[in-house]
Amino acid sequence: MQDQEAGALLRRPKPTTRPARPFFSSGPCAKPPGWDPSKIATESLGRSHRAKIGKSRLQYCIDLMRELLGLPDTHRIGIVPGSDTGAFEMAMWAMLGARPVTTLAWESFGEGWVTDVAKQLQLDPTIIRADYGELPDLDAVDWSNDVLFTWNGTTSGVRVPDGDWIADDREGLSFADATSAVFAYHLPWEKIDVATFSWQKVLGGEGGHGVLILGPRAVERLESFTPDRPLPKVFRLVSKGKLTEGIFKGETINTPSMLAVEDAIWALEWAKSIGGAKALQQRSDANAAALDRIVQERSWLNHLATDPASRSTTSVCLTIEGADADFIKAFAGLLEKEGAAFDIAGYRDAPPGLRIWCGATVDTSDIEALGPWLDWAYEEVRSA
């Protein structure tokens, strides 16, 4: 009993300052600073998305995304159902099968696309894998194939460093699941034929809606290739051999949540007001740098991604020396109970560890305030 009492006295005291906004979930992510539900426009709520006001707001949302991303006129933007997953599935089912397929996987979502291509679409893909924390050999990619990859591996904290590895003279299409990358990195749109993301990541928007971006080569594929499989209504992008252009002008395939659309518009207007995509990238970079300083100062804390050049600046994945799944569960649960950090346990399929969102809607001061709380939780769980 005396030893237990002595240990309690020696334990690290709780930090006195909590993150002002302890929202570090990797999706849905923290709302933008200053967000309040009363600030969301309501004129389109309760109205048909096919009414003039509904279509105009959907088009405005698309226009804002195009402006902030600097997307060329050659690329189309559509709002589709099912979040990023729905958008990427739509692209795969509508376009794959015209030529061989290569899938890259270094985390759970990439593995999900492997499963879909191999087992559902039964296209016998070439699979190039790497372990969590590593990036596969990008030079091994054969660009006569269609190539599927995650730009930012949300569950491993590993990203492709740039688009230099994507061939300019590629015969196949590049399919980028870019959901934790869009607005956080500079993306070379001339290298990307298909890109998908959701508002719930870097913009801090609501879930349930995906964004599908098609380059001209993807449109050509859609209009020249008819897959030998039935397509559900929500996957159909072509009518009578031509791209259904209305999808990319605010005429959604099914009924969207106009509340989610208005929320996304607010986030996009906020992003524009602070300096656009460049400012969002700078905020993400500053947050990741602040977290990296915390890691470098602690011998028991490490990055899962071993190479800084391919380390995510949004979904940063960390390992704790000697920690197993039970340790991580207790660690994250303790911080949630204290209101110091929400939802920082690593993804269920990833190695036991932490995952801390450093995207643009997080304030750097909150990342900095998190450091002492990580120390406190580590000592508490280790001595329990």
DSSP secondary structure of 328-375:
HHHHHHHHHHTTS-BS-BPPTTSPS-EEEE-STTS-HHHHHHHHHHHH
Measured distance CA(173)–CA(148) in Å, rounded: 8
**What are the backbone angles phi and psi of residue 52, rounded to the nearest 5°?**
-55, -45
Q: Cα 334 to chain center, whole Å?
A: 26
C-alpha torsion angle, residues 19, 23, 29, 31 (rounded to 10): -70
Measured distance CA(58)–CA(69) in Å, rounded: 17
Q: Say what the pLDDT of residue 286 is.
A: 98
| Prediction pTM value | 0.95
Residue with tokens 């996957």: 235
Please list the ranges in the chain whose pLDDT falls under 70.
1-10
Residue with tokens 């106009």: 258
Measured distance CA(357)–CA(67) in Å, rounded: 25
Residue type, 380: E
CB 266 within 8 A of CB 41: yes
Region of 95 please: left (phi>0), alpha (psi -120 to 50) or beta. alpha
pLDDT digits (tens, 9 = 90+) for 45-70: 999 999 999 999 999 999 999 999 99
Please enumerate, as own/partner, the contacts of 227-232 that have beta carbons within 8 Å and a separation of 24 or more.
227/93, 227/94, 227/95, 227/96, 227/97, 228/97, 229/93, 229/97, 229/121, 231/93, 231/94
Q: CB atoms < 10 A from the CB of 57, how many?
A: 23
Q: CB atoms < 10 A from the CB of 326, how many?
A: 10
Measured distance CA(369)–CA(160) in Å, rounded: 29
Measured distance CA(59)–CA(36) in Å, rounded: 23
Measured distance CA(330)–CA(344) in Å, rounded: 11
Domains of the chain: 39-271 (3.40.640.10), 275-382 (3.90.1150.10)
CB 231 within 8 A of CB 60: no
Residues facing 1 on adjacent strands: none
**Most distant pair of Cα atoms in the chain: their distance:** 81
For residue 270, which of 55, 64, 23, 28 has the smallest C-alpha distance? 64
Q: Say what the pLDDT of residue 14 is.
A: 95
First to last CA, the chain: 14
CB 277 within 8 A of CB 202: no
User: What radius of gyration, in Å, describes the C-alpha atoms of the chain?
Assistant: 22
Taken in order 265, 267, 268, 273, is the CA torsion positive or negative?
positive
Measured distance CA(32)–CA(270) in Å, rounded: 8
CB 355 within 8 A of CB 332: no
CB 370 within 8 A of CB 294: yes
Q: CB atoms < 10 A from the CB of 144, how many?
A: 13
